[in-house]
Each structure stands twice: as structure tokens, then as C-alpha cells.
């Protein structure tokens, strides 16, 4: 039986004094990919930000265990070093900071936290270029400021590239598919699928079933009104496609 890498119990969280998460429960076993689907305003991004430790998101009740440890006892940077990665729905631009400088520092900070030797410049570039080729991205990205002048698809692929370089234990993808055409979606999905591993879990947050045709999750959860109201297999995505989210909004507990 798989051990839960992430265990969320009765999670309540507020933003600007407004309660968004209202008793959310979710278990994510090691090695599995789970999808969280829900309408706008249901709390999907709030869940992602709470897990990553973003400022402004206040947890008022409940607990989250990551590898059996209290997640809320860790600062945001401690969570990142422990192996939690968040792919943003809207990746930010950081002028003046080359992607290679940022990513090499991040990779080596994680390696140091794991007790592994840091990568020198040559090893880092060799690994980065191999991953860029796999994602169909130009090596020039490494010398460009982070996300500056990138198209929407380039930004999302860059998030997957960063994830592949960092090799997180838990990857949270916050609507990585939004704004992507079918070709970019396929490239992003291939990058995510290439990261599947027995020791790694992924939480894929999305509105649409189309992403799940490329990234087939082990389990799907429907988030509505700040709670998980239904959980199931891939057939649940098709049910959502047919009925819409309104059919699930009144359900009280996960199956």
C-alpha cells in the first residue's frame, strides 16, 4: 500500500479575510499523479499557494503533512528546499536576472539541502541543454531574463523546464494548460509525463479535461465551494465534461 506523500485534513484558509478553503481533505500517495478540477473561485489556486507558502494566505484550521512532517512549520524557502515545486498559472517576469543564474542557484540550493554535491557550470549547462532539447526549447533561454518577452506557451514550457531541472518530490501545477495551443499543450504534457517516478507525486490543477487526455491521472478530485466534493477515476473528467460543475456544487463529501 502506498504511503501518502501529502496528507491534507480539514484545511481552512482565508485571503483578505474571506474564507476560500472550507474543510478540504485530500491524500496524495507517493508516485501518483492526481488532478484537481473545479470552477473559477472554487479555491484551486488558493490550495496551490497555501501548499507553496505564499504570503497573504492564512490557514485558520486543519493540517497538512508533507512526508509525515508539519508543512506549516516550514517557511516557503524551506518547503522549496524540501522538494515542493509550484508551476504558476501566470509565471512572472523577472527583468535583469538571467535564467541560467537563477536556476543554477536554485538547483544547487536543493542539492545542498539533500546532501548532494553542487553542480559546476559545465555539468549544469550539459543537463540544462539536454532538457531544453527534450522540451523543444531554444538554448538561448538560459541567457535571457526570466520570462521577459516570452509568449504564454514559452512561459509555461519554462515552468516545466524548471521543474525538470529541480526534480521536486511534490510538483503542484496550477493551471499550466491555460492559454496553450494544442502543440504547446502536448509539449508541456510530455515534459510532465517524463517526470513521473515512484518517489515523486504531482498535483495537477486544471479546468479542462483536455489536459487529462495527455496527462492521465491516477485520481481526479472535484473542488467546489472550498472543499473536495467528489473523487474518482478518469471517468469523472468525462462526467464533468458532460454535466458541468454545477452538477457537483451541492455535493457534501468526497466519494
Which pLDDT value is given to residue 250? Answer: 56
Cβ neighbours of residue 142 under 8 Å, at least 6 residues apart? 98, 99, 100, 103, 125, 128, 129, 132
Cβ neighbours of residue 158 under 8 Å, at least 6 residues apart? 91, 99, 137, 141, 146, 147, 150
Which pLDDT value is given to residue 255? Answer: 39
Cβ neighbours of residue 10 under 8 Å, at least 6 residues apart? 23, 24, 25, 61, 62, 63
Which pLDDT value is given to residue 253? Answer: 43
CA 188 – CA 191 distance, rounded (Å): 5
Cell of 235: 471517468
Domain ranges of the chain: 4-248
DSSP structure string for 94-113: EEEEEHHHHHHHHHHHHHHH
Strands 33-37, 18-29: pairing kind: unpaired
Which pLDDT value is given to residue 62? Answer: 97
Q: Cα torsion at 138, 143, 146, 147 (round to 10°)?
A: -40
CA 139 – CA 15 distance, rounded (Å): 39
Confirm if 169 and 84 have CB atoms less than 8 A apart: yes
Cell of 24: 478540504
Pick the CATH number of 4-248 from 3.30.465.10, 3.30.1860.10, 3.90.45.10, 3.40.50.300: 3.40.50.300
Per-residue model confidence as pLDDT tens for the chain (255 residues): 568 999 999 999 999 999 999 999 999 999 999 999 988 888 999 999 999 999 999 999 999 999 999 999 999 999 999 999 999 888 889 999 999 999 999 999 989 988 999 999 999 999 999 999 988 888 999 999 999 988 887 888 888 899 999 999 999 999 877 777 787 788 778 888 988 999 999 999 987 778 888 888 999 999 999 999 999 998 898 888 888 887 776 555 443
Confirm if 100 and 107 have CB atoms less than 8 A apart: no
Amino acid at each position: 500500500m502506498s504511503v501518502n506523500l501529502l496528507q491534507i485534513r480539514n484545511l481552512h484558509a482565508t485571503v483578505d479575510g474571506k474564507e476560500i478553503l472550507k474543510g478540504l481533505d485530500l491524500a496524495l500517495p507517493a508516485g501518483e499523479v492526481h488532478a484537481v478540477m473545479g470552477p473559477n473561485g472554487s479555491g484551486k489556486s488558493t490550495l496551490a499557494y497555501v501548499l507553496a507558502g505564499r504570503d497573504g494566505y492564512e490557514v485558520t484550521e486543519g493540517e497538512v503533512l508533507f512526508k509525515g512532517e508539519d508543512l506549516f512549520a516550514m517557511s516557503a524557502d524551506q518547503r522549496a528546499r524540501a522538494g515542493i515545486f509550484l508551476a504558476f498559472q501566470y509565471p512572472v517576469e523577472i527583468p535583469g536576472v538571467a535564467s541560467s543564474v537563477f536556476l543554477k542557484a536554485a538547483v544547487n540550493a536543493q542539492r545542498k539541502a539533500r546532501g548532494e554535491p553542487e553542480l559546476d557550470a559545465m555539468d549544469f549547462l550539459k543537463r540544462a541543454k539536454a532538457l531544453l532539447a527534450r522540451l523543444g526549447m531554444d538554448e538561448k533561454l538560459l541567457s535571457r531574463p526570466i520570462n521577459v518577452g516570452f509568449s504564454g506557451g514559452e512561459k509555461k514550457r519554462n515552468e516545466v523546464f524548471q521543474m525538470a531541472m529541480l526534480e521536486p518530490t511534490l510538483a503542484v501545477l496550477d493551471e499550466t494548460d491555460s492559454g496553450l495551443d494544442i502543440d504547446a499543450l502536448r509539449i508541456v504534457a510530455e515534459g510532465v509525463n517524463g517526470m513521473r517516478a515512484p518517489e515523486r507525486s504531482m498535483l495537477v490543477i486544471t479546468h479542462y479535461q483536455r489536459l487529462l487526455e495527455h496527462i492521465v491521472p491516477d485520481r481526479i478530485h472535484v473542488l467546489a465551494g472550498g472543499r473536495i466534493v467528489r473523487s474518482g477515476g478518469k471517468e469523472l473528467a468525462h462526467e464533468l465534461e458532460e454535466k458541468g460543475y454545477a452538477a457537483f456544487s451541492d455535493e457534501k463529501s468526497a466519494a
